[in-house]
Amino acid sequence: MSTCKSLIENRKFIRMKPITQIIEKRPWMAWLIFLVTIVVVFLVGLLASSVIERRAEAVFVNVPKTQISQFEPRNEVWGENFPREFQSYYQTADTSFVSKYNGNKPIDMLAVDPRMVVLWAGYAFSKDYNQGRGHFYAIEDVRNILRTGGPKDANDGPQPSTCWTCKSPDVPRLMQEKGVTEFYKGKWASLGSEVVNPIGCADCHDSKTMNLHISRPGLIEAFQRQGKDITKATHQEMRTLVCAQCHVEYYFDKKKVEGAAYLTFPWDKGMSAENIEKYYDEIEFSDWTHGLSKAPMLKAQHPEYETYSLGIHAERGVSCADCHMPYKSEGGQKFTDHHIQSPLNNVANSCQVCHREETAKLVQNVYDRQDKIIENRDKLEELLVHAHVEAKKAWDLGATEAEMKDILQGIRHAQWRWDFAAASHGASFHAPVETGRIISTGISIVGETRVKLARLLASKGFNQEVPYPDIATKEKAQEFIGLDMKKMREEKAEFKKDLVPQWIEAAKKREAGYGKKVEMSGQRNQ
């Protein structure tokens, strides 16, 4: 109480003096107040100008300049209406980013890990397997890889036309023109002049509404077989599902329609490695017969969606686009960054939207997960090479099909688990627990299989260790499995010299006939 009384009695000492009295005693204060007022007014003016400019910019940007047809495959045409998205997409041409294990720099993965050559003996991946670059290079890379061979004409080559399915927005156009089944018929080279635009706008967007949509029937059909209606997916779910059209495990069903390699997703029993394996086993499907062990093998394609679905980010509702295509702002516009890339090259806009740790710590966390997964994955690779070589030895010593049946099934199942983890880029981060489990079960299966092999070899009078092959380099490994790499490179070079220029020229003539692009203002533009 005494304190309050004292303050009341001495209130005159805390009463604010009139500004005029302050200025009389300190004339410089008037100039200070004047300058502060000028600065505040200037800043408010700048803010108001910025707001008006951004509103005007937003109005201008959102005005369509070009009429986009329903199945327009040319990304640059879409880019006239969506310049920011197109410019960011064009950055997928940049191949400078390198992380510890991946990135977008071209890497010869067989040179990095020659064991894979032996694991894929008898299959096209033993010839050539490179780390994928950005979407910008989709057409160029599929033409260049040795796996597509060196076809001499439209009816030549080792691969079916189905291999184009996920490479270009020309595919929805062709499926509309030819029909889905007809698209799956014929050789890969038969559509070389038709599929020329790299992965882009029409693959994921409806040309009328610009909404995300599914342009590939494989995903729709897979959902239908599971009793799911993909049309009821939310926008956030669609930010993943448009990726799931292609970043998945699939196979070519050659029994569904005669003469067609019908693209099919094997999800009828579920998306885990074991459920997909069970699906394949029941229909007695195999991608190829191994060149050494004669095992009926499965080749995992790139089951990113499957492994993502089994991880914590999917459980929490985080989409593929949230991390690989985060939102960004420029001027008065918020838009999706179409520079599709590793989040490790864009930590601030991807990881740190949710995680508050420092960049270095977040990156190291990813590397720690990758290190642990890859350590066991490499061990499984080595064991599988042993198994294939030992199985060949058993055949050489006169083993029968009945004696080898369970052994070959063990090799098939163990390698499927290795491939499911290895081919799913990002699996060690998307679902590290599940990926670690898959690899560990693979190690267990191949270990049991090698015990059976040892017993069989012993019964044939062979009690020694089967020598591990000298596969220190890709070249040595390819020689070991009997590949004539010189011949294949010569065929590819001839194909690129003779046939590819014809494709490009034919495509130019066709696209020139698409006509002029109509300006929404009424003017016309070439």
Could you read off the pLDDT of 157-192 as tens digits, one per residue? 999 999 999 999 999 999 999 999 999 999 999 999
**Which residues, including other chains, have CB under 8 Å from residue 131's CB and lie 6 or more apart?**
102, 103, 105, 106, 107, 109
DSSP state of 260: B
Is there a contact between 134 and 172 (Cβ–Cβ < 8 Å)? no
d(CA 40, CA 371): 55
What's the pLDDT at 186? Answer: 95
Cβ neighbour number for residue 353 with a 10 Å cutoff: 14
d(CA 347, CA 479): 42
Q: What is the pLDDT of residues 82-134, one digit of tens each?
A: 999 999 999 999 999 999 998 888 899 999 999 999 999 999 999 999 988 99
The whole-number average pLDDT for the span 406-433 is 96
Cβ neighbour number for residue 390 with a 10 Å cutoff: 24
d(CA 191, CA 261): 14
* The model's pTM: 0.86
The whole-number average pLDDT for the span 345-358 is 95
Quickly state the pLDDT bin for 523 (edges 50, 70, 90). very low
Is there a contact between 430 and 421 (Cβ–Cβ < 8 Å)? no
